[in-house]
Structure 1
């Protein structure tokens, strides 16, 4: 009878982490930046059917990279959690911190389980506050840990290089056009590029949590003419505020 092959727990966990990281790195990056009126999410995503950025609740949005079916299951679970908690208690009791804790438990349990493969996903949960200092951004890697982020964060693809680029250039008080310009510049550096690529509106998925919206729901997607106008404004290096038009498709 042959002796079973032994793998130490440390090696097994390291192998699972490496497997998940490789799967996440194969996808295109998503970047999230704070600007003066809220939080902007920008992803390189030519698909109009499969979203990397979605609304969870009134002031909360979700962004993800990795395997679509896996992070879509997590998104739907987050929506159910938020709806149930808001209905049972109060809408103000639904917070990004609470949602991040739920996701951390789910991802941590899956990552530690020997009966299934780890999820190849990395998540961002963000909540816009009444003022910039009240904004919350949480990054959740594949192992279920929670990282409290500020200013700007990138996940997926070449996120280390993109994150370093953002950290050097992001500043407080940026307008939406300025933040969008920085996000597009950083995404153009993905896949080892030097920023030579030109990303168009058709290649981007852009959404914001806009604290100035009069509606209870602060999430909106930037599409069509509004997105093109912002990209043109950012391309001209304008430091003026973004378009005054506040309406967009949800």
Structure 2
């Protein structure tokens, strides 16, 4: 009778962690920065359809790196959980901390299970408060660990280089234009030196507490990014992978306000806002 193959629990967990980390490192970085009016997300993403940054609920956003099919499943599950909780209780009962805990339990269970491969994903869950002190930013890793981040955070790709570059330019409660310029500049850092990422290859979104609507998530369009970032010199084309695209730059102070007459003022790329034009309230989804 042959001896059963044995792997120690320590070695098994190490192998699963190495597998997940390698998959995550192959993607492009996502940067989250707390600025004066909320939380900013910036990523290099040439795709116009496959978003890394999305809205979960009124004041909550989700960003991820890694395998698209895996973090998209997590995003959909988070939307369903938030809709169910908000519909059953109250919209204010849906919190970023609650969603982060739910994601942590799911990722931890998948990672420790021997029957399936670990998810190759890392996640940001952010919630914007009524003031800067109320903003929350959580980072979740492939094994279910949760970190409460402050100021800024980076995940995926060349994390150390991007984080080092961002740390040198980060300022507490900076205006949107300055925070955006620093984040985009940090994403352009690489082994070959600084490169300028084309606007079309940037995905940028914010949780903006100054919006009058209940929903605080705004996806910044190329026209608004041009105004915020100004001239940056000739763009350096980057490699094309899965994702979405937009801009970066210098620093004109353009207010992030909702203008119904502005065709570029949209909540989600080229998709029109979902708010009721009279009340400004979003539709309430029934439980599924």
TM-score past 0.5 threshold: yes
Partner of 1:204: 202
User: For 2:180, what is the secondary structure of its paired residue?
Assistant: helix
In the TM superposition, residue 161 of structure 1 has moved relative to its aligned partner by 2.2
The equivalent of 1:8 in structure 2 is 8
Shift of 1:5: 2.4
1:73-112 matches, within 5 Å, as 73-112=73-112
Taking the aligned partners of 2:164 and 2:95, their CA distance within structure 1 comes to 28
Report the equivalent of 1:159.
159
* Residue 266 (structure 2) aligns with: 249
How far off its partner does 1:244 sit? 5.4
TM-score normalised to structure 1 length:
0.94
Q: CA offsets, 1:115-164, max 9 Å, x none?
A: 00000000000001111111000000100010000110011001122123
Match of 2:173 in 1: 173
Structure 1 position 194, deviation (Å): 2.4
Q: Secondary structure at the match of 1:246?
A: coil
- Consecutive unaligned residues of structure 1, counting only runs of 5 or more, are none
More helix per residue = 1
C-alpha separation in 2, matches of 1:35 and 1:209? 10
For 1:194 and 1:92, the matched residues in 2 are separated by 45
**Please, which of 203, 225, 228 is the counterpart of residue 227 of structure 1?**
225
Distance in structure 1 (CA, Å) of the matches to 2:184 and 2:167: 14
CA distance in 2, matches of 1:155, 1:242: 28
**Structure 2 regions of 5+ residues with no counterpart?**
233-247, 260-264, 268-288
Match of residue 128 from structure 1: 128
Q: CA deviation at 1:233?
A: 6.5
Quick check: 2:181–2:249 contact (8 Å CA) kept in 1?
no
Q: Is the 8 A contact 1:95 1:127 kept in 2?
A: yes
Query: What is the RMSD computed on CA atoms of the aligned residues?
Result: 1.5
Partner of 2:276 in structure 1? none
Conserved 8 A contact 1:62-1:124: yes
Distance of aligned partners of 1:94 and 1:181 in 2 relative to their CA distance in 1, 3 Å threshold? same
Query: Which residue of 2 is the match for residue 215 of structure 1?
Result: 213
3-state SS, counterpart of residue 41 of structure 1: strand
- Give the alignment's TM-score, normalised by structure 2: 0.82
The 5-angstrom pairing of residues 54-73 of structure 1 reads: 54-73=54-73
Moved over 6 A (4+): 233-236
Separation (CA, whole Å) in 1 of partners of 2:52 and 2:249: 28
Q: Go from structure 1 to structure 2 and tell me whether the alpha carbon gap of 1:185 and 1:111 turns closer, same or farther (over 3 Å shift).
A: same
8 Å CA contact 1:177, 1:233 repeated in 2: no
In structure 2, how many angstroms separate the alpha carbons of the residues matched to 1:208 and 1:98? 20
Judge conservation of contact 1:175–1:242 (CA < 8 Å) in 2. Answer: no
**Alignment-derived partner of residue 25 in structure 1:** 25
Shift of 1:228: 1.6
